[in-house]
Amino acid sequence: MKKRTFNKEEKLRIIKEASENGISQTLEKYGIYPASYYSWKKKLEEMGEEGFHHGMTPQHLKRIRELEKENSSLKQLLAEKELENKLKGELLKKKYALEKKKK
């Protein structure tokens, strides 16, 4: 029997249908093992829809969120430094322009 893969939307639909129509009936309809269903349900409860990405674990998700926070703070620091350098450059231009006028 060929292995069937389900995308995120299908998994969500199956979980919803199982809660409405009964687990055993729904799993039989789609040919899914109970272990797979409960694994999907656990991932949904623990990590939300992001948990359905291949190989995603709570630890991976936590690390990704940490890296995203670090990335945004680094971007903010870089923007502040660029603004500071731009302002310094403008001040230097004004200073040299004033010195040339005095001479």
Per residue in 24-57, pLDDT tens?
999 999 999 999 999 999 888 888 887 777 677 7
Q: What are the Cα distances from residue 102, in Å, to 28, 66, 89, 97, 98?
A: 90, 54, 20, 9, 6
pTM listed for this prediction = 0.54
What SS3 state is found at 32? coil
Q: Can you tell me the distance from the alpha carbon of 63 to that of 66, in angstroms, rounded to the nearest whole number? A: 5
Phi, psi of 57 (to 5 degrees): -120, 165
